[in-house]
Amino acid sequence: MAGEEIKAYIFDLDGVIYRGDELQPSAAETIQTLRSQGRKVYFLTNNSTQSRRQYSDKLTRLGIPTEPHEVMTSAYATALYLKERKSTDGRAYVVGECGLKEELRESGICIAESLNGRKIDFVVVGLDRQFDYQKLYDAQQAIFGGAEFVATNCDPTYPLEGGTLSPGGGSMVSAVATASGVKPFVVGKPHTYSLEIIMSLAEAKPEETVIIGDRLDTDIWVGKRAGTHTVLVLTGVTTEEEAYNAPDEMKPERIIYSLRELLQ
Ligand SMILES: [Mg+2]
């Protein structure tokens, strides 16, 4: 992977740019250098809890000035997907947080706070830190009633400050899949839907694009499936041993210990 051939750098967020509110060492300077070289920088996260605006605000606050259009989230990609599926008057029951609901509403999706016997077109499930039995029940009933089951992502965990892991959106998706007996359509990585949208925004071909992530089964796998270059950084959920023993379809082209190495 020769640096001069790369037009677009796509960074995962959790475990790559930061852990919780802790910026990774060298993230800000690496991105500043890439931008000064004229590379296009985008951020692609499976975490659906916040909107693009909230992520760009957070990145800017942490020292990486970012505009909402430089961020792609599984929440926004889900909104685009639902619009593709049903152009007007789509009604969704959502297991997820305010960022996901904000993106869906802004895209014209009507959100049903409860079922109340109304027809639901989609059950959308993402990370929800107030997940409970009632939400599981409502999601199950809506799917039984014919709603399409759409998952923002299936990450089992996500990394936080101090090296800890918390349950990810995939934990809620599994609960709804078990209760309903239906497998979801998964919008986020490793599905290539959101990555392909970014490549078209950047006007970059797969061979001119690199994705940098900390998870083999999302970040690296989506890059391999889309034909981009792939770099695994060992600052998130994947250990060195797991990285070097990755199955072929998830083997990164390059493994780095710090984002600074991207500049070498
Ligand atoms: Mg990550």
Helix 169-180 vs helix 133-144: crossing angle, to nearest 10: 50
pLDDT number for residue 87: 67
State the distance from the centre of ligand 1 to the C-alpha of 87, rounded, in angstroms. Answer: 31
Active site residues: 12, 14
State the distance from the centre of ligand 1 to the C-alpha of 144, rounded, in angstroms. Answer: 33
Token pair 């023993």 in the structure block, residue? 245
Backbone angles phi, psi at 231, to 5 degrees: -130, 125
State the distance from the centre of ligand 1 to the C-alpha of 38, rounded, in angstroms. Answer: 25
pLDDT number for residue 89: 76
pLDDT number for residue 71: 97
Q: Digits of tens for pLDDT over the chain (264 positions)?
A: 666 689 999 999 999 999 889 999 999 999 999 999 999 999 999 988 889 999 999 999 999 999 999 999 999 999 999 998 886 678 999 999 999 999 999 999 999 988 888 889 999 999 999 999 999 999 999 999 999 999 999 999 887 777 788 999 999 999 999 999 999 999 999 999 999 999 999 999 999 999 999 999 999 999 999 999 999 999 998 999 999 999 999 999 999 999 999 998
What is the set of domains in the chain, with CATH numbers? 3-46+189-263 (3.40.50.1000), 85-186 (3.40.50.1000)
| Sheet with 148-151: strands ordered across | 110-112, 91-95, 122-125, 148-151, 185-186
Instruction: Tokens for 28, please give them.
Output: 């800000």
State the distance from the centre of ligand 1 to the C-alpha of 90, rounded, in angstroms. Answer: 30
- Tell whether pTM > 0.95: no
Rg of the chain (C-alpha set): 18
Residues 51 and 73 sit within 8 Å (Cβ to Cβ): yes
Q: How far apart are CA 248 and CA 127, in angstroms?
A: 29
State the distance from the centre of ligand 1 to the C-alpha of 213, rounded, in angstroms. Answer: 6
The pLDDT tens digits of the residues spanning 51-104 come to 999 999 999 999 999 999 999 999 999 999 999 888 667 899 999 999 999 999
Select from 100, 54, 96 the least CA-distant residue to 78: 100
Q: How far apart are CA 187 and CA 80, in angstroms?
A: 10
